[in-house]
Amino acid sequence: MNLPIIILFLEAILAYLLVLGVHSIRHRTGLGPFYALLGGLTAIMAWTTDAGIIVEAYGITFMVGSTVFYSSILLGAFVLYVFDGPHSTRIAIFTIAGISVLTPLVAAVLHFHMGLSSELFISSIPEPSLRVNTASVLTTIVDLLFLAIAWEFLGKIKANLNYWVRAYLTLVGVMLVDVFLFNTAAFLGTPQYLDIMQGTLVTRLIISLFAFPFLYAYIRFQNLKEGVSIQNRPVLSILKKVERFRKENKRLKEEIQRRKEAEDREEFLHSLLRHDVRNKSQIVQGYLQLINNAELPDKVKNYIEKAEKANKDGVEIIEKVRKLRKISKEKEIDEMEISSILDQALSEYRAQLKETGIDLEVQTCDCLIKGGPLLEELFSNLVENSIKHSGCDEIKIQSQIEQDECVITVEDDGKGIPDDLKEKVFEKGYKNKDTGGSGLGMFLAKQIVENYDGSIELEDSEQGGARFIVSLKKA
């Protein structure tokens, strides 16, 4: 073996070891030095290629740029992709492509300045070829992308290839792609095209056999040292996933729009239904009152009173359903005075309390709570529950501050609620067997208080009836 070829392969070994060595310390230094090394090797490759530096041995022409520097860049991109993933590889591709473009530009600028000078220079800078350099840049980008795709493809086929076979086939595949693309782009149409293609193909196969042991040893070393599994970096899968995500995102947006339109239609129908039922119920109520004012047998009057009650209960159910729907839509929470809320809630019952002879005692504190207008409905339901279902003579309402909460109690001296029914009271549809009702009042109360991050509890009152304890956050 002649001396030039020995030197050539020693240079290649040093370049391979340098690339793999810098990559191996990336956990301590980061990938910055590795990217810088790839950029430097790219610049040297471009200049040696433009200079036409070759080594001939045994009838084979080895280009120094591709034998030493291109193959070392390829090894670097390979291990970067396998161990560090697509993101890091993209940075490397941009680095290599950027330097590949800048190097001939720098050379062209230097040639321009040298042409302006009359002095003789010790050495000359290789003059760049636009076609060759363009072919080199584009081919390098395609090579690195093909590397990722080939590595993934070979990892997915059913042959279950050993990773060393997979690595070698990927390496050879990239070099074959490079031979065809670079030579076609750079030399197609020239007399030397086929000869260059044949010679480059032979040298690439020799280089792949020479470079592969270094690649295999490094991958195995890193795998044993760090316990890193040789992953399938899914370039194609990522692209497919991105497309799936895009379609799914579009589908979700369309679904959201459909649901919004459906909710708008539903709200319109509910509003129309409430308005229509209210009007009809008022008409029914008017006729029932007219009939009830006439001279009728007691049995008939009893039926009419039951019809009036059923009509009122129907309207009440619709109103409570409307308020339940409102809970899910109410988002704003304001500062409110608890005394003002209780005054508003009690105002509609004072006449009824007086008429039924029920005493009302209210003791409130000056407390600001976090809530909204639905709190008025909460306390209305609690007072209504005592009036309708407890058979009480007195209702007592108190509020006091306890740490970061305002605690309001509504209690009566009625018949109370048995322990086995205390939990059921807040269930949707639960009704008192004796007094009936919509079955929504206490359920609505619980939903309202929880909507404002509060709580409601039920226990026995010292007066003998029921005591509801409402805890709301202080403002």
Q: What confidence tens digit (pLDDT) does each residue in 349-407 have?
A: 888 888 889 999 999 888 999 888 788 888 988 998 888 888 899 999 999 999 899 99
Whole-model pTM: value is 0.47
Burial of 65 from C-beta contacts in 10 A (0-12 / 13-18 / 19+)? buried
Distances (CA, A) of 398 to 186, 199, 378, 402: 92, 99, 15, 13
Tokens for 153, please give them.
């493809």
- pLDDT tens digits, the chain, 475 residues: what are they? 578 888 888 888 899 899 999 998 988 999 999 999 999 998 888 888 877 788 887 777 777 887 788 888 888 888 888 788 888 888 988 898 888 888 888 888 877 777 776 665 555 666 777 787 788 788 888 888 888 788 778 877 766 777 778 888 888 888 888 888 888 888 888 887 887 787 778 887 888 888 888 888 887 777 766 554 444 444 444 445 556 667 777 777 777 777 776 666 655 555 555 555 566 676 777 767 777 777 777 777 777 777 776 667 666 666 666 665 666 565 567 889 999 999 988 888 888 888 889 999 999 888 999 888 788 888 988 998 888 888 899 999 999 999 899 999 999 999 888 888 888 888 877 776 665 566 677 888 888 888 888 999 999 998 889 999 999 999 8
Amino acid occupying residue 150: A
Alpha-carbon distance of 424 to 414, in angstroms, equals: 18
Alpha-carbon distance of 361 to 342, in angstroms, equals: 12
Tokens 């050379």 -> residue? 107
Which residues make Cβ contacts (< 8 Å) with residue 271, sequence separation at least 6? Answer: none
Tokens for 289, please give them.
């009152």
CB-hemisphere CA count at 13 Å for 15?
Answer: 27
Query: What is the tens place of the pLDDT at every residue in 438-463?
Result: 667 788 888 888 888 899 999 999 88
